[in-house]
């Protein structure tokens, strides 16, 4: 098959040849005038290949920075939860190990009831006896500085909201 026929079939090729490889970037070329597709000359293909390689390098660098930030954030959260766990245990909570990522706690309240505590954008909730007919739910709106969602609160912030909901639970019956 000649080059023109191969190009017309829509074969894929690496525009970064000779400059490195960008996995997942391909340009489809066709020389068919009937389909009125566009084609790149070698200079345009080289320029496009260099641009894609530069973009890929930028994305890789940003990903490395983001991964380093996430690792640091996870470590800070782990240290903070390790610091707060004994305080909560002294108050009578029996917590399952906190999960990495968004705020989600489970375990037993000081009263002995099983519970789940979680947050979304601007709301946190405490559910007692989750998954049963006796299940009850208390909610509160959470306002944080900046653009953070409540689900990404720092552990000390989450613990304060949990304490508030447990206190409210003790003072009132849930709605509904």
Domains of the chain, by residue range, sit at 3-56, 91-171
pLDDT at 4 over 70: no
β-pairing, 94-95 with 104-108? antiparallel
Contact 62, 25 (CB under 8 A): no
H helices of the chain, where? 3-8, 42-90, 155-171
Residue 124: what pLDDT? 93
CA atoms of 150 and 88, how far apart (whole Å): 20
Residue 60: what pLDDT? 80
Q: What is the pLDDT of residues 18-75, one digit of tens each?
A: 434 444 444 454 444 555 555 667 777 777 777 877 787 787 888 888 888 888 888 8
Of 91, 107, 83, the residue nearest 155 (C-alpha): 83
Residue 17: what pLDDT? 40
CA atoms of 120 and 123, how far apart (whole Å): 6
The residue assigned the tokens 């690496």 is 14
Name the residue with higher pLDDT: 60 or 137: 137
Average pLDDT rounded to a whole number, residues 103-132: 92
Q: What is the pLDDT of residues 90-113, one digit of tens each?
A: 999 999 988 766 788 999 999 999
């Amino acid at each position: 098959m000649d080059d023109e026929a191969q190009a017309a079939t829509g074969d894929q090729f690496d525009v970064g040849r000779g400059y490195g490889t960008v996995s997942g970037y391909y340009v489809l070329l066709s020389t068919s005038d009937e389909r009125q597709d566009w084609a790149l000359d070698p200079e345009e293909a080289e320029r496009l290949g260099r641009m894609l390689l530069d973009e890929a390098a930028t994305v890789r660098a940003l990903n490395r920075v983001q991964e380093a930030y996430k690792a640091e954030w996870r470590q800070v959260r782990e240290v903070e939860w390790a610091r707060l766990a004994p305080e909560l245990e002294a108050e009578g909570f029996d917590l399952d190990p906190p999960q990495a990522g968004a705020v989600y706690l489970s375990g037993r309240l000081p009263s002995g009831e099983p519970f789940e505590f979680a947050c979304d954008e601007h709301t946190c909730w405490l559910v007692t006896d989750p998954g049963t007919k006796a299940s009850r739910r208390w909610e509160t709106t959470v306002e944080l500085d900046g653009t953070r969602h409540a689900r990404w609160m720092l552990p000390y912030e989450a613990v304060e909201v949990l304490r508030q909901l447990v206190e409210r639970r003790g003072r009132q019956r849930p709605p509904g």
